[in-house]
Structure 1
Amino acid sequence: MKKGIHPDYHEVVFMDSATGKKFLAGSTVNSSETVDYEGKEYPLIRMEITSDSHPFYTGKQKFTQADGRIDRFNKKYGLSEQ
């Protein structure tokens, strides 16, 4: 491989903004914010959704919008629950 053309690969801490869960992983992403993780200082990357808060992984999916649509459909077309 050519030297000097690849980004710097280093360890970073990713934090789920919703749950506060942190995990260490390798990445090329840079951040000016740092955090102490297990006694060592690492760059911190804040994520809105990770496997700790995503409904697919947690099993806590929300169907509130779909439920309302189904009820409206049943009301409109006179279908009742059987």
Structure 2
Amino acid sequence: MKPSIHPDYQKVVFMDTNSGFTFLTGSTKTSNETIEWEDGNTYPLLKVEISSDTHPFYTGVQKFTDKGGRVDRFLEKYKMKKSE
């Protein structure tokens, strides 16, 4: 490897914002936020919206967090009534 062209590889904590699940791993990403880990050390904290704790492929369960489908959002946006 050429010296001084690669980003620093360090330990970071990823947090799933939906479930609060956290895990420690290595990454070149950095963050201004930090968290104290179980080993007593402080690591950069990176927040993600989905991880293996909430992804349907790993959990086997589909979780919907949005507020309705496209039609419902359209009807609400234009104050229209749903026709049966």
Q: Identical aligned pairs, as a percentage?
A: 61
Distance 1:47 1:26 in 2: 15
Letter in 1 for 2:56: P
**Could you say what the CA RMSD is over the residues aligned between the two structures, in angstroms?**
1.6
Q: Which structure shows the bigger proportion of residues in helix conformation?
A: 1
Residue 7 of structure 2 corresponds to 7
Whose Rg is larger?
1
- Whole-angstrom CA distance in 1 between matches of 2:10 and 2:23: 14
Which residue of the partner structure matches residue 56 of structure 2? 55
Count of aligned pairs:
64
Q: Tell me, what secondary structure is at the counterpart of 1:2?
A: coil
Structure 1 unaligned blocks of 5 or more: 66-82
Query: Matches of 1:22 and 1:37 in 2, distance apart?
Result: 9
TM-score relative to the length of structure 1: 0.73
Which ranges of structure 2 fall in alignment gaps of 5 or more residues? 70-84
